[in-house]
Amino acid sequence: MGLDLFIESHRDDMIRSTRELVAIPSVKGLPEPGKPFGKELHKALEYMLQLGSKMGFQTKNIDGYAGHIEFGQGDKMMGILVHLDVVPPGEGWTYPPFGAEIHDNRLYGRGAVDDKGPAVAALYAMKAVKDSGLPVNKRVRLILGTDEESGWEDLRYYFEREPMPDFGVSPDGRYPVINAEKGILHIAFRKKFSKYAYNSIGLSKMSGGQRPNMVPDKCICIFDSSANNDNIVSGIKRFGNSTGYEFEITSAENGDLLVKSIGKPAHASAPETGHNAIGQMLAYLAGLGQEDGEIEQYLRFLQSRVGMEIHGESLGLAVEDQLSGKLTLNLGMINIDRESGEAVIDIRYPVSYKKEDVLAKIEADAAKSGIEVQVLNYQKPLYVPEDHFLVQALMRVYTKLTGQPAYAMAIGGGTYARAIKDAVAFGAVFPGKPELAHQKDEYIEIEDLMLNARIYAHAIAELVSG
């Protein structure tokens, strides 16, 4: 059976598999024995491994950290790297984020396009090649990660125990071919306050954001009952009216005032598509208080150096190169109380720059304000030249299946492609389609799911047969 005919004949199976996988709320949870990232992620991993086994593949679970599904033979191995973990869904969905409902030929749900739909499409593409009768002279291994959205502990553990593919793809970006990915740096600005530190604005707690790689859509401040709450309420209303920023104000039973800043979520690699709820709260707070206490100083540092900026201008990080464009920055998380403050920043820097150069500017500036800088996560940039055999093969396949011209490009997002040598991101979002990763109402179009599977099948055949 031909590759395209196989994919189309399994349309219903593929849709069902995607819905069942998306319905698993595989947000990173508390570790359990054999389930290092929580029971839901373990359930998602086991689902894919069992599906692969039923389809006749060899499968292996690597202690719950990751797994793989494999076929073929030969000394060389092609890797297809996907992830089954998802970011928290956030609020404001039209359809249940784990309902996996289909409306207007779109399959809605957190992870539908990032990265569960593409993972299922890649698995069925492998099955198409396996059953096609085409000669296969390499192994093909679908590697299932479970910690891509957090710290990549999954792949570190996996590759300490399993061989590295010789080349590969990750269907976790855009078409045609992504051959350059910016470096990713997650840092924390930390400050300990003196015991019972006084602040003139009456702020007792501030919290916002769920992950560094998400533009936060919510930030909450609690002002204690001793603060001048009437002035705060009137000030927030004036500030909201003058800026267009959205706030909600409520009172707790103990008299504390709760202020919620409301933004728009987005992936941190494209912060311009969201609206930062933490940044707009800082913009308001920076104008409060006449005294210069430790908490006020910390808030002003964050506002003056980061605030609503997305290119790091005030930190001296407004750099770019021709290969990958401008550095981007996202203030992803914040937690402040009367004892300490922590703000977590996601930085995506151009491929021709070094982590050390970026860090040096940040640390020098923070030190002047007595703020500690800690590196939480780091991923080096990826760059595979356009004339590389892998890039050329994938561009041929893309043009053959879509009829559209192919080209190589750079992104700010970070995919598993950078985990191995000679790998690129390939799909799954088509040109002109919206970037829905980490946003509410994430979906994958059914026809795009099918076309992805066809493209992956032809790509696999091109790279491992003959």
Answer with the residue of higher pLDDT: 314 or 201. 314
Secondary structure, 3-state, 48-83: HHHHHHHCCCEEEEECCCEEEEEEECCCCEEEEEEE
Active site residue 85: yes
Give me the mean pLDDT over the 421-428 stretch.
Answer: 96
Residue 424 has pLDDT above 60, yes or no: yes
Catalytic residue among 40, 85, 181, 445: 85
Residue 75 has pLDDT above 90, yes or no: yes
Q: Has domain 184-379 been given CATH number 3.90.79.10?
A: no
- In order of 83, 291, 337, 383, 448, the CA distances from 282 in angstroms are 34, 17, 15, 36, 40
* Rounded-to-integer distance, Cα 360 and Cα 181, Å: 22
- The pLDDT confidence band at residue 243, using thresholds 50, 70 and 90, is very high
Q: What is the pLDDT of residue 289?
A: 62
Q: Domain map of the chain by residue range?
A: 3-181+382-464, 184-379
Pick the CATH number of 3-181+382-464 from 3.90.226.10, 3.40.140.10, 3.40.50.150, 3.40.630.10: 3.40.630.10
Q: What is the pLDDT of residue 287?
A: 77
- The residue among 282, 306, 268, 276 whose CA lies nearest residue 185 is 268
Q: What is the pLDDT of residue 244?
A: 93
Catalytic residue among 40, 114, 115, 148: 148
Residue pLDDT, tens place only, 56-71: 999 999 999 999 999 9
Residue pLDDT, tens place only, 448-465: 999 999 999 999 999 998
- Would you say 278 and 261 are in contact if contact means Cβ atoms under 8 Å apart? yes
Q: What is the pLDDT of residue 230?
A: 74
End-to-end CA distance of the chain: 17
Lowest mean pLDDT among 114-128, 215-229, 312-326, 346-360: 215-229
Active site residue 131: no
Give me the mean pLDDT over the 7-26 stretch.
Answer: 98
- Express as a percent the part of the chain with pLDDT over 90: 85
Residue 399 has pLDDT above 90, yes or no: yes
Answer with the residue of higher pLDDT: 226 or 457. 457
